[in-house]
Amino acid sequence: MNIYTLLGEKTRQCLQALYQLEADDSLLQLQKTKKEFVGDLTLVVFPFVKAAKKSPAATAEEIGSWLLQHTPELRSYNVIKGFLNLSVSTAYWLQALQEMSRDDDFGILKAGDSAPLVMIEYSSPNTNKPLHLGHIRNNLLGYSLSRIVSANGCRVVKTNIVNDRGIHICKSMLAWQKWGQGETPESSGKKGDHLVGEYYVLFDKHYKQELGELQKQGLSPEEAENASILMQEAREMLRAWEAGDSEIRSLWETMNNWVYRGFEESYIKLGVDFDKIYYESQTYLSGKQKVLEGLDKGVFYRNEDSSVWADLSSDGLDQKLLLRTDGTSVYMTQDIGTAALRFEEYPIDKMIYVVGNEQNYHFKVLSILLDRLGFAWGKDLVHFSYGMVELPEGKMKSREGTVVDADDLIEEMISTARETSEELGKLDSCSPEEAADIVRIVGLGALKYFILKVDPRKNMTFNPKESIDFNGNTGPFIQYTYARIRSVLRKAEELGHSARLQGELASRLSEKELSLCKNLYEFPAAVKEAGTTYSPAIIANYVYELAKEYNQFYHDYSVLHETNSALREFRILLSEQTAKVIRIALYLLGIEVPERM
């Protein structure tokens, strides 16, 4: 039984025996003892003072004495005012370590056939540009979240919605028609998503030039935008696409296929995948149908210019456009259609959208609209809102081509990992193949960990040089700790040493060894908290603290050269379990571990 559950039950018995008090969960406040105090768990006794008819300190003393007498798992207690600090016996921690060693999936709850089905949407790229640093944070958060939710006993479906239609792709298509001269990924040697992205930037360049010329002629900025021939052509292309024009559709299909192949290469490099990919071109019509149904039912209204809107004033919001005057769709329309299709195809219990915090309003509106349209699950949609990621130099802009390309960043991280590893001599004994695999694992581990260790709700600055450091709160530091432990375990096996508990150990263990046992014990709680709060950062910071604590232990105590066999085999077991938990924790973050470094 979990120590929190066990002590909670014992405390209930204590309160009944001492004060005839029936205590529910709201009264029992058991929490991890703060580092500055002695103890493992702390019980807040203020809720019981009235029933005890004693001061907080006296009440704590009385409860502590009863618990110590009736709970073999406790070794001592101390009272700080109205707080009762309980110290768990060494025997309990050793038993917990033993049980942990028998569980290859420690901390992970397996999902049964009837477990809740959670769909998680992430990535959501546009087909007018390649993936960039912002997409990397999105993909890493979504993929890690899918593993964390799965580890909490849920079935998970990973989905992606590709925004493959709309004015953005028409801008790239129009620029290619005007200035492309038949260029293809094959003829240029460029990845397809990069090539299409270049034409998106080229469109913006010519568009700005046109606006500048129109303003020189005396037009205001707004008048210039309305008079832009280039933008009119792009909008006409979108109308032609929605009307099914065969030539436009053929070009659209060709250029999108270039992009899809490029995306897939990037996803493979990044180590993320999906169970189902939806395309806006296949869902927007469903969305239009749902909007028109809502119009017929009086849920929405049509404006004088034939556009369709939702009045959200009763929810404290404004009016929301759903269909333009020319009948073309907006993002909201597509999201309504995609949501409807998803719930038709899967018996989803929860839908989670991994989308940046600039879309908070969008998803608030989407939830309201789906609810109004009669979808019971509308109110329960979860917007996993995360902050923006920037570089030390500042924000990125897609139209101006100043984004940090995902592929370039991945290659830079791997290259930096190689340089750093070679400088530190960590590849000296490796074959070229092993070295290439290690630097890939370390480079990607550095990138992923640096992004995932930050509270997802916060904006962050990504610094490639800081992320690759082999010391401090970084992925390579944790990976190196794992590789170091694996080296110790290989040597132990060569020497014929076992990883096990034997003999009397309770009086021999140091506080550092006990602290490491306790830290390992907390892993399932960290997994649960990460799943409840949708925060991979909980796992990231837990595993860093674990790796840091192991390194302190390893520095102060010999493992293989310990002469007492019982103590040596315990330390080997402790090392083995630490490596296991590091591996599982990094797996939940989507990070690989190297067996040697």
Q: Is residue 179 a contact partner of residue 205, using CB atoms and an 8 Å limit?
A: no
User: How does pLDDT run across 369-387, given as a tens digit for each residue?
Assistant: 999 998 877 888 999 999 9
Judge whether residue 394 has pLDDT over 60: no
Report the alpha-carbon angle 530-533-537, nearest 5.
Answer: 50
Structure tokens at 466: 């800081």
- Domains defined for the chain, CATH in brackets: 3-88 (3.30.1360.70), 122-390 (3.40.50.620), 407-588 (1.10.730.10)
The residues that bridge with 301 in the sheet, in sequence order, are: 309
Q: Is residue 504 a contact partner of residue 566, using CB atoms and an 8 Å limit?
A: yes
State whether residue 487 is helix, strand or coil: helix
Q: How many residues does the chain have?
A: 597
Judge whether residue 399 has pLDDT over 90: no
Structure tokens at 16: 């009944």
Rg (CA), the chain: 29
User: How does pLDDT run across 416-464, given as a tens digit for each residue?
Assistant: 999 888 888 878 888 889 999 999 999 999 999 999 999 999 999 988 8
Q: How far apart are CA 593 and CA 597, in angstroms?
A: 10
Number of H helices, E strands in the chain: 22, 14
Mean model confidence pLDDT for the chain: 93
C-beta atoms surrounding 286 within 10 Å = 18
State whether residue 44 is helix, strand or coil: strand
State whether residue 302 is helix, strand or coil: strand
User: How does pLDDT run across 541-569, given as a tens digit for each residue?
Assistant: 999 999 999 999 999 999 999 999 999 99
Q: Is residue 567 a contact partner of residue 499, using CB atoms and an 8 Å limit?
A: no
Report the alpha-carbon angle 530-340-385, nearest 5.
Answer: 30
The residues that bridge with 76 in the sheet, in sequence order, are: 87
Terminal-residue alpha carbon distance, the chain: 38
Q: Output the DSSP codes for 494-552.
A: HTT------S--TTT--HHHHHHHHHHHTHHHHHHHHHHHT-HHHHHHHHHHHHHHHHH
Q: Among 220, 388, 206, 370, which Cα is nearest to 294's?
A: 370
Total-model pTM: 0.92
User: How does pLDDT run across 59-89, given as a tens digit for each residue?
Assistant: 999 999 999 999 999 999 999 988 999 999 9
Q: Is residue 330 a contact partner of residue 321, using CB atoms and an 8 Å limit?
A: yes
Q: How far apart are CA 29 and CA 45, in angstroms?
A: 8
User: How does pLDDT run across 507-519, given as a tens digit for each residue?
Assistant: 789 999 999 999 9
Q: Give how far Cα 474 sits from Cα of 85, 101, 191, 545, Å.
A: 33, 27, 31, 11
Which of 4-18, 197-211, 222-236, 396-410 is least confident? 396-410
